[in-house]
Structure 1
């Protein structure tokens, strides 16, 4: 059975977006993007909320059509189109590019997706919170960017209280971004 893995870039002060939804502070260079692609190539499916999906759908469907696109960007664009995607939304009426709309977070459905696809990569603050509150997250992959954003949207909101984590991996990239990979201890 696969795992539900939260993979997110965050600032040192805990923001995943800056003011006005800015991601300009993200320090994704070729080394880091190539790493992301290597991790996500083995993903069974991507899961996101509506806002995240709509942002992705503005960029990835044809990002590789630009002859000037860096190789890791073009590689991810192809991967994004091909991978199964699940967008959690009560309002979205249609979605393209191998995407299924899901109306609610149901543990039985998520278990079935893990059986079907293997590892599921999850993004989005609200959706992550819903998964954490129901105990559905198996691993956190936090990419901490060496910057203080000072405002915006925090990665973690009200996730249901104190829970210990086990550090499974850490790595520092050449640009100073640090991967902290945590697992939830087995009960």
Structure 2
């Protein structure tokens, strides 16, 4: 059985984007960028919601071919292209470099979790909220940047029931960025 992790950068006040979709506040240090690149390399399958898919797929498929691309960006682009991806959307009809799922996300995520294979990541707040409410997420990774953005897209969904978690890992990065990794309490 696969594990499902939800991992994102967020502000101290709990947002993954600021109002208007601003992400400038979450620009990673070289060390943090390597962390995210290594996560992509270790991911067996990434599950994307439409909005984050559109953002990522508009840049990373050709990022390694852009003038001035750094070795780290080139490596990330290769890893991202090679990582198996599933996109969940009922509003788009086709995707390139991934499989599109237009039906019940909860049933498909549960089916994918039941398969053998490497760990899965869920990418995108809307899809993560759906998986969170269904109790499908095994691990949460918050990479908190020292900024208050005052609103935007929250990392956590509103839940009907409490979810008890165990702290599994803490790590610091340059610039006061702190990673916390939590697993569901058995």
Alignment TM-score > 0.5, same fold: yes
Whether the 8 Å contact between 1:48 and 1:127 is mirrored in structure 2 is yes
TM-score by length of 2: 0.93
Cα distance in 2, alignment partners of residues 116 and 64 from structure 1: 31
Contact 1:45 1:85 in 2 (8 A): yes
User: Matched residues in 2 for 1:3 and 1:174: separation?
Assistant: 29
Number of residue pairs aligned between Structure 1 and Structure 2: 184
Q: CA deviation at 1:90?
A: 0.7
Equivalent in the alignment of 2:106: 106
- Which secondary structure does the structure 2 equivalent of 1:13 belong to? coil
Distance in 2 of aligned mates of 1:27 and 1:126: 22
SS state of the match for residue 122, structure 1? strand
RMSD (Å), alpha carbons: 1.3
Report if the CA contact (8 A) 2:15-2:155 is conserved.
yes
| 1:2 and 1:117 in contact (8 A); partners too | yes
Question: Hey, what's the Cα distance between the residues in 2 that align with 1:182 and 1:66?
Answer: 36
2:114 pairs with 1:120: no
- The structural deviation recorded for 1:111 is 4.0
Distance 1:78 1:6 in 2: 22
**How big is the shift at 1:86?**
0.7
SS at match of 1:47: strand
Query: 1:160: Cα distance to partner?
Result: 2.8
Describe the SS at the equivalent of 2:130.
Answer: helix
| 2:154 corresponding residue in structure 1 | 154
Shift of 1:116: 4.0
Q: Verify the 8 A CA contact 1:63 1:69 in the aligned structure 2.
A: yes
Partner secondary structure for residue 36 of structure 1? helix
SS in 1 for 2:59: helix
> 1:51, 1:68 → 2: CA distance?
27
Distance 1:11 1:34 in 2: 20
Q: 2: distance between equivalents of 1:54 and 1:160? A: 30
- Counterpart contact for 1:17–1:23, Cα < 8 Å: yes
Runs of at least 4 residues off by over 4 Å: none
Specify the alignment match of 1:79 in structure 2: 79
Alignment of 1:40-55 (within 5 A): 40-55=40-55
Give 1:113 deviation, angstroms.
2.2
In structure 2, distance between residues paired with 1:157 and 1:141 = 15
- 2:133 equivalent in structure 1: 133
Deviations 1:76-103 (A, max 9, x none): 1111111111111011100001x01112
3-state SS of paired residue (2:8): strand
Q: In structure 2, what is the equivalent of residue 181 of structure 1? A: 181
